[in-house]
Every structure is written in C-alpha cells, then in structure tokens.
Structure 1
Amino acid sequence: MFTNADINFEALKKKAYNGRWATLEDGIIPLTAADPDFRMSTEIEQGIIDYIKDGYLSYGPFSGLPEFKNSVAKHFNTEKNGNYTPENVLAVNSAAQGMFLIAKYVLNPGDEAIIFDPVDFLFKKTVDAVGGSLKLCPVDAKTGDINFEILESLITSKTKLISICNPHNPVGRVYSKEILIKISEIAAAHDLWVMSDEIWSDIIYDNIEFHTYSSVSEAAKNKSFTVFGFSKSFGIAGLRIGAVLCNDQEILEDFTEKSQFNSTIEGVSTLSQIAASVAIEKAKPWFADFLAHLQSNRDLAYKTLNKSGILTPNLPQSTFVIFPKIENGFSSEDFAKRCLEVGKVSVVPGSERWFGKGAEGHIRICFSTSAEILTEGLERIIKSF
C-alpha cells in the first residue's frame, strides 16, 4: 500500500507544491516539506463524493459542522486522553490559521510570548504578525529536552503566552504528562496562557502514550488552547482544515466572536470538514498501515544516517521528519545547497529562517515517502560529500 508503485508521480508533479515535486526540476528528490507522497485514503475520497452527490454545497454553521466537532472531540477523548465536548471545538482553516488566531487573541503589541528554539518557523511568525515580542527557550536539538530554569527566567511582567509544540517539530519529541504538568504549573504561577500545537499527535511511534496538554491538570485545562490539523495524518493539506480546542466554553465563544467566526466573513469549507470527519471515523485502518510504514522508514533513515559518518541522527518519537546533526563542518545552508547541487536531493537546512538559531548545524529530512525513494535520497546525500 505504501510502496513506490503506489505513488502517482505525475499527480505529485502537478499538485505537490511547498518545496516539493511540483516546484523542482525533474530528477530532484524532495525530502523537504512535511507532506506525504501517498494519496489520501479511498474512504476520504468516497466521503467527499457522497457529500456532493445531492448537488448542494451550502453554508455550514459558522463554528463548524456538528459531525466535524463530534469527530474531533471523540478523537481527542479516545486517542489523546482528552476531555472535550463537541462545543469545545472550533473548525478553522488549517492548524496554521489556528495559531495565528490564538496569538491575535492572547497578545497585544509589545506583549511577550515564549517559544521553543529550535521549533517550526510558524511559532515565530504568528507572534511577529500581531506585534508581539519573542523570548526563545532553548531545547536540546537532539532530544527536545526543556531547560525549565531558563524557561522560568524568561518570564517578565509582559509575558502573556507560552507556546509549545507537542510532539515537537523538528526534533520529534513527545512530551510526557509529567513535563506538561511542569509547564502548566509554571504558566499558572504567572497567570499565562498556553498554546499547544498538537498537529503531529497522531503520528507517534513505539506505542508511546500521548496526553493532550489540557488533560494533564486543572491549571492546564483552565487557560489553554490546543491546535490540531489533518495534513500530516491523512494527506489532505490542500483542504486547509484544522481545529482549535478549548475546555472553557466562555473563552472559546469569545475567541470565536473576536476571530470573526460568528459570521460569513470567516468559517471553513464544509467539504473540508466532511473530509476530516470521514478521516477520523472511517480511515483509521488506512492510517494504521501508514503509521507502520512511517515507523519502518524512521528506522531505515536512522540506521542509514547513523553509519554515514557525516550526519548523526536523532531517533524521533513522532513526526515523519528526522533532524540529524552535521558532522563534516558544513553550515546548514551550505550542506543543503550541496545536497541539491551535487546529490539532486532537496532538504530543509536547520537555519534560523525555518527553525530558529538553535537549529544551526542540522538539516531536516522528511521520510513520508516510499522506502525506495527514501533509500535513494539518503544515498545521494551521503555520496555528495
């Protein structure tokens, strides 16, 4: 189901943008943007077809279709130790939009937000977009370990938000319940909001248990937002569908109002919500096979890079990216440039632009492709030096 023969390369070359097949010249292997090379499940495809058969694509409820909200709440409660009702869920146009809306809701110009370093560039971008001020909390670029002394030392009277990425991109760390409780205690002691980006929380290896942030303590439940999306787990990035979850119904209603989701100014495509709901309700068997394939690819990437002599890999507990350390003296940008020019493989450099200053000396490699493509790409990278 997830071999080279299952990949429609012609379709990818027409549709796979964001630094992938449609943006690169023939012969280059993209191991870049975190997006699967495989088609979505047939259950999702059929769900979309069934929904449009009667010929109607009318406005839906502004906060989201009932079936979408039910599916997301159920998914978090059964898979992520959550305690949500459907009313605690707001449909948004992608997890990325959810992050922007939360930053806008929580921060005024000049307010401070603490984010991890390294971490996905969207965390910085969302704070910058609303005029907030960034404080960077370093995490170990191999393990994702958080220095809590530094975290607490960054808090000032202007601090309003701690944003966490769990599971962590690009390191792939799944933060335990104990670590999340510690974050919630720090946040509560200083009356801070917490935003937890959990878009990767379906893709977890080795049967590690995942706890959605709001579930770990009463303090976490009282003053937090959770962001979720479907692009990683089910390959429907182009549908731009995500969710914001909040256990405090009054806060979520205020958030919904101030985010313009109580009118036709905002609101999310009903077709996208149906696709996401079908993914949760009917595509779990497909996803189980996909997850098994990804874990096999993770192990393949780790073993190959570990004996390369030029890259020392981490072993991600989650995500389908690996974040090895460069060992041959090249900067992240120069290493990625040589991979592209000599090896004809595109990877993401661990530069400040993408992940923050703490990412320098690393590259990020996406492995949500076939074992054949991954093997060829890794071999090309190693032979480029």
Structure 2
Amino acid sequence: MFTHQDINFEALKRKAYNGRWATLEDGIIPLTAADPDFRMSSEIEQGIIDYIKDGYLSYGPFSGIPEFKKSVANHFNTEKNGSFTPENVLAINSAAQGMFLVAKYVLGPGDEAIIFDPVDFLFKKTVEAAGGNIKLCSVDSKTGEIDFEMLTSLISSKTKLISICNPHNPVGRVYSKEVLKKISEIAEVHDLWVMSDEIWSDIVFDKKEFNTYSSVSEAAKKKSFTVFGFSKSFGIAGLRIGAVLCNDQELLEDFTEKSQFNSTIEGVSTLSQIAASVAIEKAKPWFNDFLTHLQHNRDLAYSILSNSDILTPNLPEATFVIFPKIENGFSSDAFTQHVLKEAKVAIVPGSERWFGKGAEGHVRICFSTSKEILEEGLNRIIKSF
C-alpha cells in the first residue's frame, strides 16, 4: 500500500500543487510541502461515493454535521487524552483557517501574541492578518525545547495569546504533559488565551504518548482553543477540512457566532466532513500502515543524513518532516537553490519567510513518499556538493 509501485505519478503531476509534482519540471523530486505522495484510503473514497449516491448535497448544520462532530470528539478522547463532547467541536475548512479565526477572536488591534521561533509561517501570518503583533519565543531548532524564561519575559499588558504548535513543525517535538502544564500555569497567571495547533498529533512515532493541550489542567480547559485538520494524517488536503475544539461550550458558541458560522457566510462542505468522519471511523488500519511506513522513512532519512558531512539531522518524534542543520556554510536559501539546480531536488529553506529567524541554517525535508524516492532525493542532495 505504501510502496513505490503504489504511487500514481501521473495523477500527482496533474493534482499535487503547493510546491509539489504539479508545479515542478519533470525530473525534479519534490520533498517540499507536507502532503503525502500516496492515494487516500479506499474507505474514504467509498464513503464519499456512498454519500452522494442519493443525489442530495444539501445544507448541513452550520457548526458541522453530527457524524463529524462525534467522530472528532471520540478521536481526541481515545487517542489524545481529551475530554470533548460532540458539541465542543466546530467544523472548519482547514487548520489554517482555524488559526486565523482564533487569532481574530482573541486579538484586538495592537494586541500581542507569543509564537515560537522557529515555527510554521502560518502562525505569524494568521496573527498579522487578524491585526495583532508578534512576539517571538525561541525554541531549540534541534530539540524544540521552549525557552520558558524568555516566554515569561515577553508577556506584557498587551499580550493576549500564546500559540503553540504540538507536535512542532518543523522540529517534530512532541511536548510532554509537564511542558504543557507549565504553559497553562503561565497562561493562567497572566489571564492569557492559548491556541494549540495539533494538526500533526496523529503522526507520532515510537508509540509516544500525546496529550491534547486542554487535557493537562483545569486552567488549560478554560481559556484555550485546539485546532486540528485531516490533510497530514489522511492525505485529503484538497477537501479542506478541519476542526476547532473548545471545552467551554458557551465560549465555543460565542466563537461560532462571531466567526460568521451561524449563517451561510461560513460553513464547511458536507462531503468533506463525511470524508473526515469515514477517515476516523474506518481508515485507521490504512493510517496505522502509513505511520509504520513513515517511521521507517524517518529512520532512513536520519541514517543517510547522519552519514553525510553536509547536513546534521534532528530525530523527529512526530510529523513527516525532518529539519537538518546545514554544515557547509551555505545559507538556507542558497542551499535550497543549489540543490534544486544541481541535484534536481526541491526542499524548503529554513528561512525567515517560512519558519522565522530561528530557522536559518536549516532546511526542511518532507519524507511522506516512497523509500526509493526519499533515498534517491537525499543521495542526490549529498552528491551535489
């Protein structure tokens, strides 16, 4: 199911955008956007077909169809130590939209949000789009460890939000219950909101425990939003489906109202919600095989890069990206341009644009492809210097 022969390159060249197969010249290997090269599970495909067989695609409930809300709540409660009811779930069209809506809800003009550095560029983008200002808190670019002294020092009367990325993209760190509890204690003392982006929380290696942020304390439950999506775990980015979860029902209802979901201005395709529900309810065997394949690829990438003098890898605890350090003096941008031109491999630079200042001197490499493509791509990169 996750072999080289299982990849339909013709389909990818027609459909895989966002810096991937459909956007690059023939012969270039994309190890760029975090999107799998493998087709979605047959269960999801069948679920979509079954749903549209009667010919009706009517309006659904504004906050999400019952099957979707129930399956997401169950998923968090059984896999991530959550305590959500279906009513605690709002269907949204992507985790990215969820991040923006949370920032818009909690930040007024001039209010400040603390985000990690490095971290995925959407954290910065969504806060700025909502009219907020950014404060950067350093995390270790190899381990993802948070500088708590710095975090506390950044808090002022303007601070309203701490945004966390767990598991961390691009470092692949899974934050322990103790670390999350520490964040919740700081947030409680200063009466801050916390937004936890948990889109990567299914893809955790070595059977490591994952705790959803709101589960770590009563304080964490009271003033937090959790953002989730299905593009990474189930390869359905094109369906644009995610969720915002919040344990405080009144708070979520106010958020839903202010985010324009109680009308036809906002709302999510019922077809996408069905696909996501089927993914959780029926595609777990597919996902478990996918996770096993990804762990093998992580180990392979780590091994190949460790034996090179060009890049020193971290060992991600989660995600399907690796974030090695450049060892030959090239800047992140120069390294990726060289690799694209000389090795015919596309990767993401650890530049300020994508991950913040703390990412410089690194590159991000996606490994959600076949063993053969990964091996070929990494060896091309190493041999190009």
TM norm structure 1:
1.00
Q: Distance between the aligned counterparts of 2:101 and 2:273, measured in 1?
A: 19
Q: Are residues 1:77 and 2:72 paired?
A: no
- 2:25 is matched with 25
Structure 1 residue aligned with 2:215: 215
Q: Which amino acid aligns with 1:306?
A: S
- Alignment-derived partner of residue 160 in structure 1: 160
CA shift, 1:361, in A, is: 0.1
Q: What does residue 374 of structure 1 align with?
A: 374
Corresponding residue number in structure 2 for 1:186: 186
Report the counterpart of residue 307 of structure 2 in structure 1: 307
CA–CA distance in 1 between the matches of 2:345 and 2:64?
Answer: 40
1:93 paired residue number: 93
CA–CA distance in structure 2, aligned partners of residues 308 and 28 of structure 1: 21
SS at match of 1:342: helix
Counterpart of 1:234, as a letter, is: F
- CA deviations 1:348-379 (Å, max 9, x no partner) are 00000000000000000000000000000000
Gaps of at least 5 residues in structure 2 are none
Structure-to-structure mapping, 1:1-385, within 5 angstroms: 1-385=1-385
Secondary structure at 2:380 match in 1: helix
Task: Look up the equivalent residue of 1:293 and give its one-letter code.
Answer: H
AA matched with 1:359: A
Secondary structure of 1:48's aligned partner: helix
Q: How many Å apart are 1:133 and its aligned residue?
A: 0.7
How far residue 64 of structure 1 moved from its aligned partner, in angstroms, is 0.0
Distance of 2:309 and 2:171 partners within structure 1: 20
* Partners of 1:10 and 1:179 in 2: CA distance: 45
| Alignment root-mean-square deviation, CA | 0.3
Deviations 1:82-128 (CA, angstroms, capped at 9, x unpaired): 00000000000100000000000000010000000000000000011
**Counterpart Cα distance in 2 of 1:206 and 1:3:** 21
Shift of 1:130: 1.3
Q: For residues 218-264 of structure 1, give each alpha carbon's deviation from its aligned partner in whole angstroms, at most 9, with x where no partner exists.
A: 00000000000000000000000000000000000000000000011
Distance in 2 of aligned mates of 1:166 and 1:255: 22
Shift, 1:131, TM fit: 1.3
TM-superposition CA deviations, 1:312-351 (whole Å, max 9, x none): 0000000000000000000000000000000000000000
Tell me how far apart the structure 2 counterparts of residues 345 and 352 of structure 1 sit (CA, whole Å).
21
Q: Tell me the amino acid that sits aligned with residue 380 of structure 2.
A: R
**1:144: Cα distance to partner?**
0.1
Rounded to whole Å, the distance in 1 between the matches of 2:265 and 2:205 is 40
Counterpart residue identity of residue 143, structure 1: T
**Cα deviation digits, residues 258-278 of structure 1 (max 9, x gap):** 000001111100000000000
Provide the C-alpha distance between the structure 1 equivalents of 2:128 and 2:224, rounded to a whole number of angstroms.
20
TM-score, normalized by length of structure 2? 1.00
Question: What secondary structure sits across from 2:343 in the alignment?
Answer: coil
**Structure 2 Cα separation of the partners of residues 347 and 269 of structure 1:** 32
| C-alpha separation in 2, matches of 1:343 and 1:138 | 32
* Distance in 1 (alpha carbons) for counterparts of 2:133 and 2:290: 39
Shift of 1:303: 0.2
> In the TM superposition, what is the alpha-carbon distance from 1:162 to its structure 2 partner?
0.0
Question: What secondary structure, in the 3-state scheme, does the structure 1 residue paired with 2:109 have?
Answer: coil
Q: After the TM superposition, list the runs of 4 or more consecutive aligned residues in structure 1 that deviate by more than 3 angstroms.
A: none
Measure the CA separation in 2 of the matches of 1:142 and 1:150.
Answer: 18
How far has the Cα of 1:216 moved from its partner?
0.2
